[in-house]
């Protein structure tokens, strides 16, 4: 993996975000769409990819997933639950991940994590060190280290830690069948 300072990608990421946000809002409305991830944090190391979060009300979540699946590729089904889903826009390079969270749910913390990293230089430095440590390693090892770090941030913010995801069951399986 190759990382560079987010400032190198700022203009491109901002332009791509405007386009993706418009594309999303044509599919679902009454949602909040935000750019998150390393590329959206000044001084963070990033691959230059775009991560977007869509925050949606609980009642609208199933219909939003169905509408989004008609436009974007379903991604990481194993991570889906009753509050959270991931899509991917394959028409962009580098990749665009679209994370969908239910407002007020245990999964609705990505924007808070981003703000914490923007406000706390020491944590941002630690975030960058993790990226540098895994620059020549496999993606899986990096993702595990990043998940541990994000759990540390969740704990600081008073959120529940993310656990290892299990195969879809119950309501989660029904959500997946809808799309």
When pLDDT is averaged across residues 28-41 and rounded to a whole number, the result is 93
When pLDDT is averaged across residues 143-165 and rounded to a whole number, the result is 85
For residue 92, give the nearest of 67, 65, 73, 114 by alpha carbon.
73
Checking if the pLDDT of 107 tops 80, the result is: yes
Confidence band of 166 (pLDDT split at 50, 70, 90): very low
**By percentage, how much of the chain surpasses pLDDT 90?**
60
Checking if the pLDDT of 172 tops 60, the result is: no
For residue 91, give the nearest of 20, 163, 26, 179 by alpha carbon.
20
CATH of the domain spanning 4-178: 3.30.460.10
Q: What is the pLDDT of residue 134?
A: 84
Q: What is the pLDDT of residue 174?
A: 56
Measured over the CA atoms of residue 153, residue 157, residue 159 and residue 160, the dihedral's sign is positive
Over residues 12-24, the pLDDT tens digits come to 888 999 999 999 9
Q: What is the pLDDT of residue 164?
A: 47
């Amino acid at each position: 993996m190759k990382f560079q300072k987010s400032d190198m990608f700022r203009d491109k990421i901002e332009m791509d975000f405007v386009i993706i946000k418009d594309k999303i809002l044509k599919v679902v409305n009454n949602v909040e769409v935000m750019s998150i991830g390393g590329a959206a944090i000044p001084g963070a190391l990033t691959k230059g990819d775009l991560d977007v979060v869509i925050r949606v009300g609980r009642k609208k979540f199933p219909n939003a997933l169905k509408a989004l699946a008609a436009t974007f590729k379903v991604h990481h089904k194993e991570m889906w639950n009753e509050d959270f889903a991931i899509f991917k826009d394959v028409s962009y390079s580098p990749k665009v991940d679209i994370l969908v969270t239910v407002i007020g749910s245990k999964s609705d913390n990505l924007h808070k994590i981003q703000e914490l990293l923007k406000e706390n230089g020491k944590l941002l430095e630690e975030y960058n060190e993790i990226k540098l440590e895994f620059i020549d390693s496999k993606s899986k090892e990096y993702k595990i280290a990043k998940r541990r770090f994000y759990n540390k941030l969740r704990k600081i913010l008073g959120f529940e830690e993310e656990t290892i995801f299990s195969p879809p069951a119950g309501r989660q399986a029904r959500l997946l069948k809808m799309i």
